[in-house]
């Protein structure tokens, strides 16, 4: 017994019969490449309100961190960088509300992007309370200088998210210019962001 033809079938058949020929997609635009991606990253980070420091080794990393005013003034410091311990035990916190009052969060980034001054921080680097990067008053992100890529195309190629996965690109401190195009730093999250490259 033949299936009755509906108006829908008639329309779809006519559309298929008159569909245009498939054409090859155009080549993607050439991604930008910088002569010195680390130098460009530092300049771009400054442009989005962040600060860049270069450490020569682990000892210098601790010196650079200690020189920051936000570190010197902080009373509650949370860190997931093993060589830079804080004084807040993130594992002991029961829920994100207990993150209130964290002055400084020190987090490791997997890599950074010269194009937009962003640092990729996967959820596994945030510890058990992944809201830490938006609750803390100030952020310090630690990266390896050799991991700075030129552009977001390369950045997406580097992503390695385990599912279910989570991660964020952090580009400088929190900011907004929603109201009358007036830039406000620290509107929704960290008031400052310093990236230290080893």
- Show pLDDT as tens, one digit a residue, over the chain (198 residues): 667 789 999 999 999 999 998 899 998 888 899 999 999 999 999 999 999 999 999 999 999 999 999 999 999 999 999 999 899 999 999 888 999 999 999 999 999 999 999 999 999 999 998 999 999 999 999 999 999 999 999 999 999 877 778 899 999 999 888 777 787 888 788 999 999 999
**159 CB-side CA count, 13 A:** 19
Predicted local distance difference test score (pLDDT) of residue 29: 82
Predicted local distance difference test score (pLDDT) of residue 182: 80
Predicted local distance difference test score (pLDDT) of residue 187: 76
Q: Would you kindly state where each structural domain of the chain is located, as residue ranges? A: 34-86+104-197
**Distance (Å, rounded) from C-alpha 102 to C-alpha 89?**
11
Q: What's the burial of 5, exposed, middle or buried (CB within 10 Å: 0-12/13-18/19+)?
A: exposed
Predicted local distance difference test score (pLDDT) of residue 163: 72
Predicted local distance difference test score (pLDDT) of residue 160: 81
**C-alpha distance across the termini of the chain, in Å:** 74
Q: What CATH superfamily is the domain 34-86+104-197?
A: NagB/RpiA/CoA transferase-like (3.40.50.10420)
Predicted local distance difference test score (pLDDT) of residue 162: 74
pTM score, whole prediction: 0.84
């Amino acid at each position: 017994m033949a299936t009755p033809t509906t108006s829908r079938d008639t329309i779809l058949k006519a559309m298929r019969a008159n569909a245009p020929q498939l054409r090859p997609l155009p080549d993607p635009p050439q991604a930008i490449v910088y002569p010195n991606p680390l130098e460009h990253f530092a300049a771009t980070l400054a442009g989005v309100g962040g600060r860049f420091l270069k450490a020569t080794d682990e000892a210098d990393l601790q010196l650079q961190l200690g020189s920051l005013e936000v570190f010197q003034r902080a009373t509650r410091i949370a860190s997931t960088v093993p060589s830079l311990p804080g004084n807040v035990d993130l594992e002991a916190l029961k829920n994100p509300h207990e993150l209130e009052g964290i002055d400084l969060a020190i987090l490791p980034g997997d890599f950074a992007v010269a194009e937009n001054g962003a640092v990729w921080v996967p959820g596994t680097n945030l510890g058990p309370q992944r809201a830490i990067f938006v609750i803390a008053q100030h952020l310090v992100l630690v990266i390896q200088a050799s991991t700075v890529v030129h552009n977001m195309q390369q950045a997406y190629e580097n992503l390695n998210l385990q599912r279910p996965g989570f991660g964020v690109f952090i580009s400088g401190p929190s900011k907004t210019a929603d109201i009358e195009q007036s830039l406000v730093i620290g509107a929704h999250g960290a008031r400052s962001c310093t990236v230290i490259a080893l």
